[in-house]
Chains A and B, each alone.
Chain A
Amino acid sequence: MNLREFRELAAAHAVGALPPEDERAFTQALAQHPEWRGIVDADVETAALLGESLPEVTPPPALRAGLLDAIEQLPQLPAVRIPESAADVGEPAPPRDIQPRTESASSREDVRGPDARRRRARSIGWITGLALAASIALFAAVTLGPGLVGLFAPSDPAVVALEQVESSEDAAAASVDAVGGGSATLHWSNEQGRAVLVVEKLPRLGDDQDFELWLVRGEQPISIGIMHPGDDERTVLIADSFEPGDAIAVTVEAAGGSPSGAPTSNPIFVIPTA
């Protein structure tokens, strides 16, 4: 995809005019070109100014009271932030347990210079890909304590998504144990193009590390964000950009996610869906 095509996608994304398949193309293009992030932010900001220009309409007071009640028991989610570009997050973490496998990456167009190219070649054939999208639609997460599923079922997007996936005709699920402890179960529906990951009791990480989630499409890992699961909690994560055949993987990365946009360590688990 060239910059001109991307600008069209970014503008249409900002005004909400993209159909789902184009949203996916947009997300993938941004994953491959994190340096285009600024274009997206500027377009989104411009569109929001339009939204701000409407005369105010005060919603009914009962709605406010209902919301204030609802949040009394609604847990907040950990930050899901995806680094804007390799340059934004400082020096890349030293790669661990990664051996060069291919030099063929140099045949690909690379706008970030030889250093990025070298990192990519080193990353077990996974090409550099930074996550993105306007992270909201792409990725939603909720941490659930025991017994909270029923309580928040009506409004919680993750729980609703889980129910929807489980009720689809082609519902599938797979569980794996994670390296270092804990387990993960992926529920998915190819028909719905949606996957919901439930992780439990993953090992506790130091402050300088985060779990990073990846959709692995073919050989390309696409970061869908970082997560901070609690010790005894189940964390439910929705991958709306899931496509049939994708695998879901989690790696341990430097805090804030892999600086290069590609995994720097072996996954603690991988769940294939093909």
Chain B
Amino acid sequence: MLGTMVVDGVEVPEDGQGVDPVDEALFRVSRGDRNSFAELYDMMSPRMFALILRVLVDRAQSEEVLQEVFLEVWQNAASFDADRGRARSWMLTIAHRRAVDRVRSAEAGARRDEGFGLREIHTPPQSIDEQVQLRVDGSRAVRALDALPESQRQAIVLAYFGGYSQSEIAAIVGVPLGTMKSRIRDGLSRLRMELEVTR
């Protein structure tokens, strides 16, 4: 008998061969199915909200962005291309991009900085540790992240979770931009490799 596990409240076959319910729901949403949109929201919104909140910090703005992102998902569901990745990745990518867009807008940046002070590029690295510290559940991705050399891990985390641009990170860490570009590239390649190993 095939084992099952629960992913986002929905049972999927443990061998990973089953269809991800998120893929299925997004497909039905692309056909205008509003019930499936509610289902998709229930499955994905806690993960997307967590990501947006992580990048944006401000809760009210994060709620706004989450709303915008789901409207975008509704409107553009037909543009999702299953050949290029998973539905959940597509949705998280939109959420991430919108959160980063928002954090780069002046107002949000200022508000967030009250909490972190990281845009002050001469801030001593102690506040970075706080930012780089991930309080997470020991998931596969985090174990993979932990396997990275510290400099790469820091670059990836500051970019992806911190919403900083590569030149900002270079300034924060105090390395030339070219070095930072290589770190991000090497870090992401290494991360992918680690994820493949632990799959």
Contacts and interface: CB of A to CB of B under 8 A. Distances in A.
B192 A46 contact: yes
Interface string A182-210: 00000000000000000000000000000
A170 interface: no
Interface residues of B, number: 73
Interface stretch (B83-91, B112-120, B123-131): B83-91
Contacts of B81: 81
Given A18-B165, A53-B137, A68 B34 contact: yes
A37 B83 CA distance: 12
A4 to B, nearest CB: 9
Interface in B70-115: 70-72, 74-79, 81, 83-86, 88-90, 92-97, 100
B53 A57 contact: yes
A58 B46 contact: yes
B5 interface: no
Q: How large is the interface on A (under 10, 10 to 19, 20 to 34, 35 or more residues)?
A: 35 or more
A56 B169 CA distance: 27
Nearest to A40: B84
Interface in A113-144: 134-137, 140, 142
Given A11-B184, A17-B165, A80-B79, A53 B45 contact: no
Contacts of B12: none
Interface stretch (A59-67, A91-99, A171-179, A262-270): A59-67
A52 B141 contact: yes
Given A41-B84, A53-B142, A59-B45, A46 B191 contact: yes
A272 interface: no
A164 B95 CA distance: 23
Secondary structure class of chain B's binding surface, majority of residues: helix
Contact of B34 (A12, A45, A72, A136): A72
A7 interface: yes
A135 B79 contact: yes
Contact of B47 (A14, A52, A136): A52
B166 A63 contact: no
A74 B71 contact: yes
A274 interface: no
Interface string A26-65: 0000000000010001111111111111111111100110
B50 A56 contact: yes
A157 B63 contact: no
Contact of A79 (B79, B144, B145): B79
Contact of A54 (B41, B47, B76, B164): B47
Nearest to A72: B34
A70 B94 contact: no
A181 interface: no
Contact of A55 (B137, B163, B165, B188): B137
A42 B182 CA distance: 17
B25 interface: no
Nearest to B182: A8
Contacts of B30: 76, 79
Contact of A59 (B46, B160, B195): B46
B94 A12 contact: no
A59 B67 CA distance: 10
Given A19-B165, A76-B78, A50 B156 contact: yes
A88 B146 CA distance: 37
Interface of B: 30, 32, 34, 37-38, 41-42, 45-47, 49-51, 53-54, 63, 66-68, 70-72, 74-79, 81, 83-86, 88-90, 92-97, 100, 134-137, 139-142, 144-145, 156, 159-161, 163-167, 169, 181-182, 184-185, 187-189, 191-192, 195
Interface of A: 7-8, 10-12, 14-19, 22, 37, 41-60, 63-64, 66-68, 70-72, 74-81, 84, 134-137, 140, 142, 155, 157
The 7 closest A-B pairs by CB, nearest first: A56-B46, A48-B89, A53-B141, A17-B159, A79-B78, A15-B159, A16-B100
